[in-house]
Amino acid sequence: MKKRTDKILALTATIFIGIAVLLQHVHYTLDVITAPVITYFIWVGSKKIVES
C-alpha cells in the first residue's frame, strides 16, 4: 500500500475487527493484541530475507 488513505483504511479496519473479536468473546485478549505486532515483525523479517 503506497497511498496514505489506503494505510489509514487498513489500520481502521484492523482496529475495528480486533474490537469486534474482543466484544464477541471469541478469542483471548492477549492473542488479539499481540497478533499485529508479531505479524509486523514477520513482515519485516521476510522483506530482509527477500532483499538479501
- In this prediction, residue 1 carries a pLDDT of 76
- In this prediction, residue 26 carries a pLDDT of 83
On the CB side of 16, CA atoms within 13 Å amount to 6
Question: What is the grid cell recorded at 26?
Answer: 471469541
| Count of other CB atoms within 10 angstroms of residue 2 | 5
- In this prediction, residue 44 carries a pLDDT of 96
- In this prediction, residue 52 carries a pLDDT of 81
Compute the distance between CA of residue 47 and CA of residue 16 in angstroms, rounded to an integer.
27
DSSP 4-52: HHHHHHHHHHHHHHHHHHHHHT-S-HHHHHHHHHHHHHHHHHHHHHHH-
pLDDT tens digits, one per residue of 1-52: 789 999 999 999 999 999 998 899 888 888 888 998 999 999 999 999 999 8
- In this prediction, residue 29 carries a pLDDT of 87
